[in-house]
């Protein structure tokens, strides 16, 4: 598995939102949905957790995942729909 690093923003947001490294690893390694963000080159993954979705925005290399931000949402479908309609995200999975 890739090592995980955080931007300062990503580390702060994960802590504020109660998102731990194990949750991020699960989302990144086995996402329910994943997208490529055309506006910044980041990967966006969603993983279902206890009836809500964990969203992780990250940059991925062969050996590392760098977490840019993360949050838990119950509005994943709406977020995805808006980003796809505005041609900001492209679906990967």
pTM for the predicted model, two decimal places = 0.90
- Report d(CA 20, CA 78) in Å as an integer: 24
Note the pLDDT tens digit of each residue in 65-76. Answer: 999 999 999 999
- Domain containing 39 equals 3-91
Count of domains observed in the chain? 1
3-state secondary structure 7-63: CHHHHHHHHHCCCCHHHHHHHHHCCCEEEEECCCCCEEEEEEECCEEEEEEEEECCC
Q: Could you report the per-residue pLDDT of 18-55, keeping only the tens digit for each? A: 999 999 999 999 999 999 999 999 999 999 988 889 99
CA nearest neighbour of 75 among 93, 52, 45: 52
CATH code of the domain in which 43 resides? 3.30.2310
- pLDDT level of residue 61 (50, 70, 90 thresholds): confident
């Amino acid at each position: 598995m890739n090592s995980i690093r955080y931007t300062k923003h990503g580390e702060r947001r994960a802590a504020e939102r109660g998102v731990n490294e194990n949750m991020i690893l699960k989302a990144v390694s086995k996402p329910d949905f994943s997208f490529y963000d055309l506006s910044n080159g980041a990967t966006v993954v969603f993983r279902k957790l206890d009836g809500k979705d964990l969203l992780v925005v990250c940059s991925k290399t062969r050996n590392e995942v760098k977490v840019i931000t993360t949050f838990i949402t119950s509005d994943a479908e709406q977020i995805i729909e808006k980003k796809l309609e505005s041609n900001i995200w492209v679906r990967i999975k």
